[in-house]
Amino acid sequence: MHHPPNPPILYSFQSASDLGPALAAFIAKAQKESVEKKGRFTLALSGGSLPKHLKGLIGNPAIKWDKWQVFYADERVVPLDHPDSNHGLCKTELFQHVPIPAENIHTLDQTLLNDLEGLADAYEKELIREFASKVTARFPVFDLILLGIGPDGHTCSLFPGHELLAEENGWVAFLEDSPKPPPKRITLTFPVLNHATRVAFVATGESKVDVLSTILDKPEEGLPASRVKPAYPGQLYWFVDNSASAKVQYSASSFKL
């Protein structure tokens, strides 16, 4: 029977420094459940301001780092040590401080940086290897996808008005006209986001105040972030701070694990 998506759960914290430990506890619990159930934890990470909110995971003895399989929800097509690389950012903020095996972090194929289509294809193949073949799995089911939002309502590298909003089949898409620099990127597609078990947006600060109320209170405007609606029984979460949620009408829940 077709079941409508669960409504989003909104958690709003006093400040970004209160949000960090809650987000870390939430991720730790998600990984525990996944590892107990399936022996692994599949996670997709974004760039921007997200990686700096992950510091609370460092030193947590309950985390089974060798069971993590990490992909990027979107990635800029630059070398891994380039300042624009989302992987570079996640490495600086988190991965270089924890015992995660390097082969568990799925980065862009560095030999394909000049072949966007080949690069996106290779990344999709990497996902297929992890999530079984495209024949048995129509779409991968991530245990958790962590996303940010831009002031225009984009998420991943899915920008308002862009043709990629209509992608229905691919798992990984590429673009060379990103309005946010750098222009060349790869991104997971909406069907992948909407098949995940959990998706959590993280947004802090005043610069998100208008877009956050549009996304949550006027989903009919169809901003890219409003189109993230994981299929039942998947669950969408918002981790925000009070300065980002100042204009939001949608009711917040008190944070509990």
CB closer to ligand 6PG out of 67 and 238 = 238
Interacting residues with ligand 6PG (CB under 6 A): 46-50, 74, 76, 86, 148-150, 155-156, 180
Give min distance, CB of 2 to ligand 6PG, in A. 30
Give min distance, CB of 58 to ligand 6PG, in A. 20
CB closer to ligand 6PG out of 67 and 202 = 202
Give min distance, CB of 203 to ligand 6PG, in A. 7
CB closer to ligand 6PG out of 67 and 225 = 225
Give min distance, CB of 132 to ligand 6PG, in A. 26
Cis status, amide bond into 233, omega within 30 of 0: yes
Q: Which of 88, 97, 98 is nearest to 64 (CA)?
A: 98
Q: How far apart are CA 228 and CA 220, in angstroms?
A: 12
Helices (H), the chain: 16-38, 86-93, 116-131, 190-193, 209-217
CB closer to ligand 6PG out of 33 and 210 = 210
CB closer to ligand 6PG out of 55 and 180 = 180
Token output for 233: 């029984």
CB closer to ligand 6PG out of 76 and 162 = 76
CB closer to ligand 6PG out of 47 and 230 = 47
Q: Which amino acid is at 117?
A: E
Please say whether the beta carbons of 50 and 202 come within 8 A. Answer: yes
Q: Which of 19, 10, 6 is nearest to 216 (CA)?
A: 10
Work out the number of other CB atoms within 10 angstroms of the CB of residue 56.
19
Please say whether the beta carbons of 239 and 200 come within 8 A. Answer: yes
Give min distance, CB of 36 to ligand 6PG, in A. 29
Work out the number of other CB atoms within 10 angstroms of the CB of residue 187.
29
Give min distance, CB of 121 to ligand 6PG, in A. 20
Please say whether the beta carbons of 99 and 57 come within 8 A. Answer: no
Give min distance, CB of 244 to ligand 6PG, in A. 10
Q: How far apart are CA 21 and CA 27, in angstroms?
A: 10
